[in-house]
């Protein structure tokens, strides 16, 4: 897929974000580097949803939304972003949006010396099918969002969360405008926000740690991460998946003779013990490529699956570094 210069106008890096939005965030500072030879990986996904009852699938709906993942590497600096959302007209009016960008500077491969993130997503309180149905019926003119930012350096992590609302006319298709509006409404970190220490092991950001788990050749991994001043443990188990290999080979996403690995992961908040499972699939021996599929239990009654699709519709993707190349 050819990446045009117009697409590569950075949403962050080189001070462009602060010029556009009037504020500088820690993620901008880390990504404000000259990166003429940045390595770029992109993958688009189509989203499907499965309604569950007591862990039993009741009904599935395909193409309820889409998403994308991007990694960019420039020297010791890595940018990882993920965005996804629903199409209300295909999801019974459900309007959900999520976006996160992480920046990590590595001391050495796999060891971050400094990191930052900025995330933005719709919020919902539905705990069961009945509440979800009532939420759909009561959809109003404004949609609540949570905007998060954080930074880790010198053994300390600081984070801030802003609660925002924007008109319901803005959907996943308008993610660029929504992120712009969120950044304009957020207050950059001052350094006196509640923080967390890193203990004896340097924690990572979420997407970065998932990426490191995929790159790790061991069949199981464990690592620490911090998000919004909360500590989490990410544990993973990996194994070959013959059915997934056949599926993605048929879709021409894995070459003949290739193999697909399944990584089962558990994210546990250390203080509360709350556990969040998710799974992803990736091509063996091509671990730098982005996952072919991932799925997670968004609610006890709702499972979301994102599968690689070169034809998936998605909003324009904006990149961290100014560079121009073809995506493999």
Average the pLDDT over each of 6-20, 237-251, 307-321 and give the range with the smallest value: 6-20
> pTM for this structure?
0.84
Residues 6+ apart with CB under 8 A from 146: 119, 120, 121, 122, 123, 161, 162, 163, 164
Q: pLDDT by residue (tens digit) across 195-217?
A: 555 455 677 899 999 999 999 99
Q: Is the pLDDT of residue 12 over 70?
A: no
Scanning the structure block, which residue is given the tokens 């905007």?
Answer: 147
Closest by CA position to 159, among listed 97, 229, 107, 216: 229
Q: pLDDT by residue (tens digit) across 35-75?
A: 667 889 999 999 988 765 555 544 566 778 899 999 999 88
CA separation for the pair 241, 116 (Å, rounded): 34
Q: 189: which 2 tokens?
A: 């970190």
CA separation for the pair 84, 309 (Å, rounded): 14
């Amino acid at each position: 897929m050819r990446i045009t210069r117009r697409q590569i106008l950075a949403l962050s890096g080189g001070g462009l974000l602060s010029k556009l939005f009037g504020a500088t965030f820690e993620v901008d500072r880390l990504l404000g580097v000259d990166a003429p030879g940045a390595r770029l990986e992109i993958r688009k996904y189509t989203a499907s949803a499965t309604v569950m009852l007591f862990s039993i699938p009741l009904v599935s709906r395909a193409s309820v939304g889409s998403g994308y993942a991007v990694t960019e590497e420039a020297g010791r600096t890595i940018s990882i972003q993920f965005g996804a959302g629903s199409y209300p007209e295909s999801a019974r009016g459900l309007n959900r949006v999520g976006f996160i960008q992480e920046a990590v500077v590595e001391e050495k491969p796999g060891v971050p010396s400094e990191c930052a993130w900025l995330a933005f997503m719709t919020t919902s309180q539905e705990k069961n099918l009945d509440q979800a149905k009532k939420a759909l019926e009561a959809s109003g003119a404004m949609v609540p969002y949570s905007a998060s930012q954080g930074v880790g350096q010198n053994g300390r992590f600081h984070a801030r969360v802003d609660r925002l609302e924007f008109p319901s006319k803005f959907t996943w298709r308008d993610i660029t405008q929504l992120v712009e509006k969120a950044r304009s409404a957020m207050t950059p970190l001052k350094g006196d926000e509640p923080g967390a220490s890193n203990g004896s092991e340097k924690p990572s950001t979420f997407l970065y740690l998932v990426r490191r788990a995929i790159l790790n050749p061991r069949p199981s991994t464990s690592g620490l991460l911090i998000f919004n001043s909360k500590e989490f443990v990410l544990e993973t188990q990996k194994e070959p998946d013959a059915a997934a290999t056949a599926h993605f080979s048929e879709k021409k996403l894995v070459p003949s003779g290739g193999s697909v690995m399944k990584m089962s992961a558990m994210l546990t908040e250390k203080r509360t013990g709350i556990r969040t499972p998710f799974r992803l699939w990736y091509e063996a021996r091509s671990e730098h490529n982005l996952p072919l599929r991932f799925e997670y239990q968004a609610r006890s009654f709702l499972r979301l699956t994102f599968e690689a699709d070169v034809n998936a519709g998605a909003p324009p993707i904006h990149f961290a570094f100014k560079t121009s190349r073809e995506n493999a």
